[in-house]
Structure 1
Amino acid sequence: MHELLASSMEFVRASPALMGVLLFLGPILLLGLLSRLRQKPYPPGPKGLPIIGNMMMMDQLTHRGLAKLAKRYGGLFHLKMGFVHMVVVSGPDEARQVLQVQDNVFSNRPATIAISYLTYDRADMAFAHYGPFWRQIRKLFV
Structure 2
Amino acid sequence: MDSALIDAYRNTDYRVRLSQGGWASIRIDAPVPEPLRALIGLHGWAFITAWNPFSQVLPRPQNRAAQQALLGALRRLAATPTICPAMGVGRDWREPSFFVVGPTLAETDALVQQFRQNAYVHGLADGYARLRLTSDEPPRGQAG
TM over 0.5: no
Please identify which structure carries the higher strand content: 2
- Decide which structure has the larger Cα Rg and report it: 1
Q: With CA pairs under 8 Å and 6+ residues apart, which has the higher RCO, 1 or 2? A: 2
